[in-house]
Structure 1
Amino acid sequence: MKSARILVAALALALAGCSVLPSWMGGGPDKPKAAELTSNPASLGVRQAWTARIGPVDIPVAVNVQGTTVTLASSDGSIAALDAASGRELWRTSAGGPIAAGVGSDGRVSAVVTTGGDVVAFRDGKELWRQRLNVSGYTAPFVAGGRVFVLLADRSVVAFDGQNGRRLWTQTRPSQPLSLKYPGTMLAVGDTLVVGLAGRLVGMNPNTGAPRWDVAVATPRGINDVERLADLVGRASRVADIVCARAFQTAVGCVDAGRGAVVWTKSANGFEGVDGDGSFVFGTEADSTVIAWKRDSGDKAWTSDLLLNRGLSAPLVLGRAVVVGDDFGYVHLLAREDGKLLNRLATDGTPIMGAPVAAGTTLVVVTKGGGVFGFVPQ
């Protein structure tokens, strides 16, 4: 049965030998001691501009950014759009049940996946349509070109008409024995839909789902199915046609999506997505080491163990800073050139959920306690 192929990420991590888990994955009091905070130099001026609330967040949320509007969801089914400049609520609605993945949006249509197995689309806070999925999904839908694309837990991909929910196509692949209950990778490069399927990046025709190219970021290795897990997870970093992504506890690599060719792959042990710019790709490892790889070669530019074992989020590149959140409600801004601490920001003391995002000039983070915080340059 397909459901038997899905492994909860916390179990996979534990069995695979990872000793440090973020709190939402089941990290407990027996995990390694977190690094003590050093003094805050506050050499990069940032201030809290506003706060809002969304509701409890027990999943790694995907905060969608369209211009200066951020759209996000809570685990209990609330979905809201906020003005990033002021924190003002533009609209709020409910998916009618707990949410497994969200939010995806193109600025007009927003979509989530519920734990009950529905994909639900909204416009301006009003439900447009909902469709039942054969298998649940843990990746925020990708909304583009008038379509809603959904990556399912068995790593099949389904496309729906964004206006009426009509199913357009389904692309399935031979399923691996186990899959992670964790967000996967999906984005667009030109007119190609790029999706992480197992340890591979696959370029698809968005009109038909037909594959255009298929390359390996990581090769599964190990003596059992758990050790061989190599799903691509979390946010990818795209600069022009180059897409860089993380394979669960295996590797970080970059692919030329224009040619469908691997640029480089490097061994890495993490489970959060990556971010980057034209010079570097940044990632957080399972033990909360922060690493910068050179984008052209994959060579390490620097590593930082300043935040060791603090349960770091995926990073965000923001100007001259690399931003990460931790399990203690802090947001850390590290220098993109060398990883030194520039500033530290406090939220509500609960873990930062999902990756920080930038909307206009505002840095937005979401906490497990349901807090939404907007920070701006000082």
Structure 2
Amino acid sequence: MIFKPFRPLALTLKASTAIVLIAFLGGCSLFGSSTKKPQPAELQPVVALVPAKQVWTARIGEVSFPLQANVSGDTVVVAATDGTVAALDARSGRDLWRTNVGAPIAAGVGSDGKVTAVVTRTNEVVALAGGKEIWRQKLAAQAFTSPFVAGGRVFVLAADRSVNAFDGQTGRKLWSQQRPSEPLVLRQSGVMLAVGDTLVAGLAGRLTGLNPLNGSIRWEAPIASPRGINDVERLVDLVGTVSRNGNTVCARAFQASVGCVDAQRGTLLWTKPANGAQGIDGDDRLVFGTEADGKVLAWRRTDGENAWNTDRLRYRSLSAPLVVGRSIAIGDSAGFVHLLSREDGSMLNRLATDGSPVAASPVLAGNVLIVVTRSGAVFGFAPE
């Protein structure tokens, strides 16, 4: 459900203090190590039980930031580090429009099909309509989470734990909600979505429900709590993507836990220890995730108990999963997309791209599975 338009309420926000950022990408460990890196599991031959073929490919430029490809109907919007933003026809891969925002991109892409927004490394939110810039606004801090566009507004989660709301057409700042910041945060995509008339954001280890009218907090539910004695050990952050089913939102706390929250009441349903760095996905029965060591797990949505797990993709630096029909699609650091059974994790197919790491969680537009690689290739796969 998308927010209905509402009256703006302007609030002021003082400039934030400097924060230290940690570049955690993929399944990296919190601590460096002199030990030899584990070798990725060798891929075994696979019988294509779920046939699929490549139907198109496109190029956008190298991707070295936490990209989230955005799907609106038959349009997928992607971006490259050099400032390129492109809307592609998901059926054919052809450009609907393409532009450059004039600065390297730090976070993107958010879109409601009309307004598209990214954040640059110069801490500016840039909004586009039909490939034309309509406004840009300066942020007080860096941002690594794609803007969320809904209800005629652009919402931005910044690295200083602030949530900012802008008018989608004019860029006028409507409000800002500032939460206590920590000395360390993740240089990784966080959590922001709408559930009914509530804006749900990941702030530190909590899912937080905000009133989109004015940014006031309606509820908070902890997925994980800080632990340890120093700043690194106490780092806790929620990472995108999330799994939503009705009012239930399930999310991952970086290298700590996975949990589900009733986003209507703001109550925690369950939480389980989990050592992963990427987001999750799910269906009405199960929640799926990849661990830092390459294990793939399924938890029961009702109570969080383990349904199955597989280690056939160990140490392959896996992406967040995506539910696709009776499969889950997971990208790896060698550019393969693995299709695993939702029922038991068995291998159903393997799709090859250009050999560079998959840059973001795959997305689905209609019946086309879309994958973006670090080298800037975009692939469309469809069932045969």
TM-score range normalised by the length of the shorter chain: over 0.9
In structure 1, the residue matched to 2:263 is: 257
CA deviation digits over 1:265-309, x for unaligned, max 9? 000001100000100000000011000000001000000101000
Name 1:4's counterpart in structure 2.
19
Q: Which residue of 2 aligns with 1:74?
A: 80
1:207-222 aligned at under 5 Å gives the runs 207-222=213-228
Q: Identify the residue that residue 272 of structure 1 maps to in structure 2.
A: 278
Q: Which amino acid aligns with 1:150?
A: V
Superposed displacement of residue 234, structure 1: 1.4
Equivalent in the alignment of 2:207 = 201
Aligned with 1:108 (options 102, 105, 114): 114
Q: Distance in 2 between matches of 1:286 and 1:119?
A: 31
Residue 324 of structure 1 aligns with an amino acid whose one-letter code is: I
CA contact (8 A) 1:280 1:292 kept: yes
Please tell me whether residue 283 in structure 1 is matched to residue 289 in structure 2: yes
- Classify the secondary structure of the residue corresponding to 1:116: coil
User: 1:179 offset after TM fit, Å?
Assistant: 1.0
The whole-number CA distance in structure 2 between the counterparts of 1:172 and 1:3 is: 14
Alpha-carbon distance between aligned partners in 2 of 1:4 and 1:122, rounded to the nearest angstrom:
29
**Structure-2 separation of matches of 1:4 and 1:164:** 29
Q: Is 2:148 the partner of 1:142? A: yes
Distance 1:139 1:218, change over 3 A: same
Aligned-partner residue type, residue 158 of structure 2: L
Amino acid in structure 1 at the alignment position of 2:21: I
Confirm or deny: 8 A CA contact 1:12 1:180 kept in the other structure.
Answer: no
Aligned-partner SS, 2:18: helix
Tell me the CA shift for residue 231 of structure 1. 0.3
Contact 1:156 1:170 in 2 (8 A): yes
Q: Give the aligned partner of residue 240 of structure 1.
A: 246
**In the TM superposition, what whole-angstrom CA distance separates every residue of 1:331-350 from its partner, at most 9, and x where no partner exists?**
00000000000000000000
Mark the CA change 1:2 to 1:354 in structure 2 (over 3 Å): closer, same or farther: farther
Flag the 1:12–1:330 CA change in 2: closer, same or farther, 3 A: closer
| Separation in structure 2 between the aligned mates of residue 319 and residue 13 of structure 1, nearest angstrom | 30
Corresponding residue number in structure 1 for 2:12: none
Which residue identity does 1:234 align to in structure 2?
G
Give the share of equivalent positions with the same residue, in percent.
59
Query: Is 1:45–2:51 an aligned residue pair?
Result: yes
Normalised by the size of structure 1, how large is the TM-score? 0.95
Secondary structure class of the residue paired with 1:342 = strand
1:232 to partner: Cα distance: 0.3
- Following superposition, the deviation at residue 176 of structure 1 comes to 1.8
> How has the CA–CA distance of structure 1 residues 73 and 11 changed in structure 2, closer, same or farther, with 3 Å as cutoff?
closer
Write the letter of the residue equivalent to 2:221. Answer: V
**Equivalent position SS for 2:19:** helix
User: Which one of the candidate residues 177, 183, 190 is aligned to 2:189?
Assistant: 183
Tell me which residue corresponds to 2:349: 343
Aligned residue pairs total 369
Return closer, same or farther for 1:267/1:258 CA change in 2, 3 Å cut-off: same
- The offset of 1:29, in angstroms, is 11
RMSD of aligned Cα (Å): 1.6
Query: Relative to structure 2, which stretch is displaced further, 3-12 or 154-163?
Result: 3-12
**C-alpha distance in 1, partners of 2:271/2:28?**
22
The alignment's TM-score, normalised by the length of structure 2, stands at 0.94
Distance in 2 separating the partners of 1:133 and 1:29 = 40
**Cα distance in 2 for residues equivalent to 1:13 and 1:229:** 14
Looking at structure 1, the residues matched to 191 and 283 of structure 2 have their Cα atoms a distance apart, in angstroms, of: 18
CA pair 10-223 structure 1, distance change in 2 beyond 3 A: farther
State the distance in 1 between where 2:212 and 2:357 align.
36
What CA deviation, in whole Å up to 9, does each residue of 1:123-166 have, x standing for no partner? Answer: 00000100011101000000000000000011111000000000
SS of the equivalent of 1:135 reads coil
Structure 1 counterpart SS, 2:272: strand
Aligned counterpart in structure 2 of residue 59 of structure 1, from 56, 65, 79: 65
Secondary structure at 1:9 match in 2: coil
1:158 and 1:119 mapped to 2: Cα distance?
10
**Counterpart Cα distance in 2 of 1:207 and 1:112:** 22
Alignment-mate amino acid for residue 187 of structure 1 = L
Q: CA deviation at 1:13?
A: 4.8
Task: Tell me the CA shift for residue 65 of structure 1.
Answer: 0.5
Contact 1:6–1:154 (CA<8 Å) still a contact in 2?
no
Give the Å deviation of 1:7.
2.7
CA distance in 2, matches of 1:315, 1:10: 16
Classify 1:91/1:135 alpha carbon distance in 2 versus 1 (closer, same or farther; 3 Å): same
1:372 is aligned to 378
